[in-house]
Chains A and B, each alone.
Chain A
C-alpha cells in the first residue's frame, strides 16, 4: 500500500484497486473498439425504432376480391360492407377465374364468392357465403376470416337495430375487455419483449464474445500470472458490461415512456432490481459459455442458441407458452428469459402483483447465484 511513483495514495484496499484497474482497462478497450459500443447502444436504438414503428400484428388494408357473378340489389347490400370497412381494400369483379388468378399472383389475400345463383338462394333464406383465403400466412388468414364474418353480417345488424324491440330471437353479444391494455396497443406488449432482447444481447452475447476473445488470444492466461485473482478478473470483466446493460435498459425505458407511451404501473425500484438480477444471469451465462468454449465462433453460436433465440421465441413474449407441447414447455422452465418476461409484463402493465413478482424474482436470484458460482468455478478450473 505504498503510494508508488508519485501517484496519490489510495484509500481503497488492494483488491478494489485491482478491480478498478481492470475495469478501466476494459473501458479503454470498449472506447477504442467501437463495435462493442455499437452493440451496446446503437443496436438497442435500432431495435427500439423497429419494435416501435415497424412491427405490428394488426391486420389492416386486407386486399380481397369480391366476385359477384350475377349482381342484384340484395347482393350489393350484402357486399356493401367491403366498400365501407376500413379493414378491407376490395376489388369487385364478376369472374371467379380472374379472382383466382389474382390470388395466385398474391395480389389479393382472399376471395368472397357469390355464385350466379346466390341471389336466388339468399331470397330462399340461405345466406351462406363462400370464402377463400390464402393459407400461406395462417395467422393473417384467420384474422381475415373473422373480419369477413363481421362485414357479411352487417345487413342483419342494420335490420336488427332498426327493428322494434319486441319478441324476436335472443342473441348473445360478447363484450370484449382487454385488461391492462384497454386500447389494444401492440407497443404495450412489444416493449417488455424489447427489453428482454436488449438485456440478453448485451449481457450474454457481448460478454461471451469479449471473454472468448481473451481466451482465444491467450491474454486471459497472461492476466492470471499477475497478482489479480479469478474473482477479480470476473468482476473486472462484468462491471463494464453490466453498466452497458443498464444503459440499454434505461434507453428502452425512456423510449417506452416517451415514444410509445407505455405505462409503468409497478414500482420502478422492483423493475430495476429484477432487471439487475436478469442481467447478472445473462452475464454469468456469457462467462460460462466463453470459458467452456474458448473460441469466438463457437461461443457466439452457442450463446445465440442458448440465450438469444429462446428469449425471442420461447420466453412467452410472442407466443403463448401454454400452447406449446409439454416436453418443450419443460425446457422453458430452464430459461431465465421466461421469468423476466413474466416480471416485465406484470410490472409494466399490471402493477405490483406480489404473487407474480416474488416467485419469479426468487427463481432469477437462485439462477444468478448458481450460474455466477459456476462461472467462477469453470474459469478457475480451465486454468490448470
Chain B
C-alpha cells in the first residue's frame, strides 16, 4: 500500500513537472483563466448600458418632449438624431447607427389630454433580437413611469397597479454576479479535460506509454497518477477565477468555501474521468484534442451558462443531466450567491459522483483491455 502511494506520488510529480516545466505551457494554464474571467466578466452581460436611438417626433409638444426626456434621462438611451422622414429612420437602423427608433404621431398630446389611448411606435433592430427585446423592455418601463406621472398630474380615478419587487441573492439583478461564479466551472473544465486527454495521448504518440507499462506501476496507479495532477491544476485554476471574482469584481460570497470546494473537487473528478475516457479511445494527441473539444462544445452550450436550462426543450433538459458542467454551474451559483449548504446541494453533487464513477471505471476498463 505504502509503495503504491509512493509510486503514485512519483508519477504525479513527474506529470506536474512535464506540464509546468515548459514556461509556455505553464503560462497557457495559468494566464488564460484570469484573462478570460476579466474579459467575460465585463463583456458577457445581457444588460444594456448604451443604446443609441433616433426620434421622429411629429407632435413636438410638451407631452412628447416629456416622454423623450424620460428616455434621455435614463442613462441608457442616447439620442443621436431627430429625424423628419421614415426613410431617414430606415437608413439609421439599416446601417446600425441606432438600435431603436421612436416614432411619435401628430396628435400625441391632444389625444392624451382627451383621455384617449395613444400609441407610439418603437422600432428596434431585430438582427440581434435579444438586445432589441431588452431595449424595448426598458422603453416600456420608461413609458409606464410616464403614464403614472401623467395620471397623477391629471387626476386619475385609480392608480395603475404597481409592483414592489425584491430580488433574492442578487438585489440589483446584475448579470455579472451570475456570470462570473459560473465561469469557475466553465474555464476550469475546458483545460482540465484537454490536459487529461492529452497526457496519455502524448505518452502514446511518443511511445513512452509502453515504457510506463513495463514499470512496476499497476494500471490503476497510472490512472490515479495521471488524474491527480490534472485535478491539482484544475483546482488552482478554479481558485484563480474565484480570486478574480472576489478581489477584482468584489462579488460578495454568501456560502462556505468548504462546500464550494467539495463541489469543485467532485466536478474536477468527473471532468478528469471524461478526459481519461476520451484519451482511452484515442491514439494521437490531435485526436485527443479534437474529441475533447467536440465533447466540450455541447457541454458548454447545454450548461445554462449563456441560455437558461429551463428554456430548453424537455428532451434536451434531460440530456443536460450527463453534463457535469451543468451541476458545477448550479453549485457555484448557489453556494456563491445563495449561500446554500451541502444538504441543499445533494441533488447536484450525486450526479457528478456518478458521472465520475462511470467514466473512471470505463476508462480503466478500456486501458486494461488495450493492454492485453
| A residues lining the B interface (CB < 8 Å) | 33, 35-36, 38-39, 42-43, 46-47, 50-51, 53-61, 78, 103-105, 109, 125-143, 145-146, 148-149, 152-153, 155-156, 160, 165-182, 184-186, 188-189, 201, 205-206, 209-210, 213, 293, 295-298, 300-302, 304-305, 309, 313-314, 316-320, 322-325, 328, 331, 342, 345-346, 349-350, 353, 355-356
Supplied contacts A180-B126, A295-B25, A355-B94, 20 more A-B pairs, CB within 8 Å? A42-B294, A46-B294, A54-B312, A55-B301, A129-B164, A136-B178, A138-B178, A139-B46, A169-B150, A171-B147, A172-B117, A172-B119, A184-B126, A189-B126, A298-B28, A305-B36, A317-B128, A318-B306, A328-B42, A331-B39
Q: Say yes or no: A170-B154 contact (C-beta < 8 A), given A186-B129, A209-B286, A320-B131.
A: yes
**Closest Cβ–Cβ distance, residue A273 to chain B (whole Å):** 20
A172 to B112, CA, bound (A): 8
Q: Say yes or no: A136-B301 contact (C-beta < 8 A), given A178-B124, A293-B24.
A: no
Which residues on the A side are within 8 Å of B39 (C-beta)? 313-314, 328, 331
Segment 263-320 of B: residues with Cβ below 8 Å from A: 282, 284-287, 289-291, 293-294, 297-298, 301-302, 306-308, 310-313, 316
Task: Let me know if B127 and A132 touch, CB within 8 A.
Answer: no
Q: Say yes or no: A184-B129 contact (C-beta < 8 A), given A104-B344, A139-B308, A356-B95.
A: yes
7 chain-A/chain-B pairs, Cβ below 8 angstroms: A105-B344, A135-B173, A138-B174, A152-B163, A169-B115, A319-B44, A323-B50
| B residues lining the A interface (CB < 8 Å) | 22, 24-25, 28-29, 32, 35-36, 39-40, 42-52, 67, 91, 93-96, 99, 111-133, 136-137, 139-140, 143-144, 146-147, 150-151, 154-171, 173-175, 177-178, 190-191, 194-195, 198, 202, 282, 284-287, 289-291, 293-294, 297-298, 301-302, 306-308, 310-313, 316, 333-334, 337-338, 344
Q: Say yes or no: A297-B285 contact (C-beta < 8 A), given A125-B159, A319-B45.
A: yes
Q: Say yes or no: A138-B177 contact (C-beta < 8 A), given A59-B311, A301-B32.
A: yes
Which residues on the A side are within 8 Å of B298 (C-beta)? 46, 50
Partner of B156, one of A152, A169, A176: A169
Partner of A353, one of B95, B119, B155: B95
Q: Which 3 A-B pairs have the closest CB atoms?
A: A135-B170, A181-B126, A170-B112
Closest residue on chain B to residue A216 by CB atoms: B285
Task: Let me know if B130 and A178 touch, CB within 8 A.
Answer: no
**Closest Cβ–Cβ distance, residue B135 to chain A (whole Å):** 9
Which residues on the A side are within 8 Å of B125 (C-beta)? 179-180
Task: Let me know if A356 and B307 touch, CB within 8 A.
Answer: no
A286 to B122, CA, bound (A): 43
Q: Which of B35, B50, B293, B344 has the most CB of A within 10 A?
A: B293
Closest residue on chain B to residue A135 by CB atoms: B170
A247 to B99, CA, bound (A): 33
**Closest Cβ–Cβ distance, residue A214 to chain B (whole Å):** 10
Task: Let me know if B162 and A129 touch, CB within 8 A.
Answer: yes
Partner of B95, one of A134, A176, A355: A355
Partner of A169, one of B28, B52, B154: B154
A146 to B173, CA, bound (A): 13
Closest residue on chain B to residue A152 by CB atoms: B161
Partner of A173, one of B32, B96, B118: B118
A175 to B161, CA, bound (A): 20
Task: Let me know if A179 and B168 touch, CB within 8 A.
Answer: no
Q: Say yes or no: A156-B158 contact (C-beta < 8 A), given A104-B344, A136-B178.
A: yes
A103 to B24, CA, bound (A): 47
Closest residue on chain A to residue B304 by CB atoms: A137
A182 to B25, CA, bound (A): 49
Which residues on the B side are within 8 Å of A297 (C-beta)? 25, 28, 194-195, 198, 202, 285, 289
Task: Let me know if A353 and B161 touch, CB within 8 A.
Answer: no
Q: Which of A171, A186, A188, A296 has the most CB of B within 10 A?
A: A171
Which residues on the A side are within 8 Å of B113 (C-beta)? 170
A56 to B334, CA, bound (A): 23
Task: Let me know if A174 and B143 touch, CB within 8 A.
Answer: yes
**Closest Cβ–Cβ distance, residue A361 to chain B (whole Å):** 15
Closest residue on chain A to residue B131 by CB atoms: A320
**Closest Cβ–Cβ distance, residue A274 to chain B (whole Å):** 15
A209 to B306, CA, bound (A): 27
A358 to B198, CA, bound (A): 43
A151 to B94, CA, bound (A): 34
Task: Let me know if B178 and A153 touch, CB within 8 A.
Answer: no
Partner of A319, one of B46, B151, B168, B170: B46
Partner of A172, one of B29, B118, B194: B118
Task: Let me know if A174 and B161 touch, CB within 8 A.
Answer: no
Partner of B164, one of A109, A130, A134: A130
Task: Let me know if A125 and B308 touch, CB within 8 A.
Answer: no
Closest residue on chain B to residue A105 by CB atoms: B344
Closest residue on chain A to residue B338 by CB atoms: A136
Closest residue on chain B to residue A39 by CB atoms: B290
Closest residue on chain B to residue A193 by CB atoms: B128
**Closest Cβ–Cβ distance, residue B48 to chain A (whole Å):** 5
